[in-house]
């Protein structure tokens, strides 16, 4: 069983749409949770850390459900520049291990 499961998509949405990505993790000892964005042929860049109470940064909202071992990312009012692959990442502090989902591809269409 994979540590982190993520729907690979692709998601093709029109500009202005709201889109949600989901991710589940298997290890209940997981301590930190993140969403990264990766553009084609570039490195992953940290988009948001995900806190237990949920957190919002502009058009982006991240939520964590520890009981269901589930993380989500909501993007409102999608822009063309949001087109990228979104990676769900889980950290287990023991061994400083980070586990990656497969990534979800998003294309925002004019």
Partner 1 sequence: DTEVTQTPKHLVMGMTNKKSLKCEQHMGHRAMYWYKQKAKKPPELMFVYSYEKLSINESVPSRFSPECPNSSLLNLHLHALQPEDSALYLCASSEGLAGVNEQYFGPGTRLTVT
Which positions lie near partner 1, rule CB under 8 A? 31-32, 34, 41-46, 49, 51, 87, 89, 91, 93, 95-98, 100-103
Residues 103, 88, 100, 66: what is their CA dihedral angle, to the nearest 10 degrees? -140
Which residue in this structure is represented by tokens 């998509």? 9
Which residue in this structure is represented by tokens 């994979």? 2
Q: Which two tokens stand for residue 51?
A: 């806190």
Question: Which residue, 45 or 79, is less far from partner 1 as judged by CB?
Answer: 45
State in angstroms the smallest separation of the CB of 6 from partner 1: 9
CA nearest 93: which of 25, 50, 33? 33
Question: Which residue, 19 or 88, is less far from partner 1 as judged by CB?
Answer: 88
State in angstroms the smallest separation of the CB of 101 from partner 1: 7
8 Å CB contact between 31 and 93? yes
State in angstroms the smallest separation of the CB of 104 from partner 1: 11
State in angstroms the smallest separation of the CB of 98 from partner 1: 6
Question: Which residue, 3 or 17, is less far from partner 1 as judged by CB?
Answer: 3
Question: Which residue, 94 or 110, is less far from partner 1 as judged by CB?
Answer: 94
8 Å CB contact between 103 and 8? yes
């Amino acid at each position: 069983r994979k540590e982190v499961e993520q729907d690979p998509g692709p998601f093709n949405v029109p500009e202005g749409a709201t889109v949600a990505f989901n991710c589940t993790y298997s290890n209940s000892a997981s301590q930190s949770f993140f969403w990264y964005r990766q553009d084609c042929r570039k490195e992953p860049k940290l988009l948001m850390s995900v806190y237990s109470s949920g957190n919002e940064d502009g058009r982006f909202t991240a939520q964590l459900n520890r009981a269901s071992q589930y993380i989500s990312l909501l993007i409102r009012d999608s822009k063309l520049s949001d087109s990228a692959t979104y990676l769900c990442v889980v950290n287990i502090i023991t061994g400083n291990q980070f586990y990656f989902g497969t990534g979800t591809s998003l294309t925002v269409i004019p």
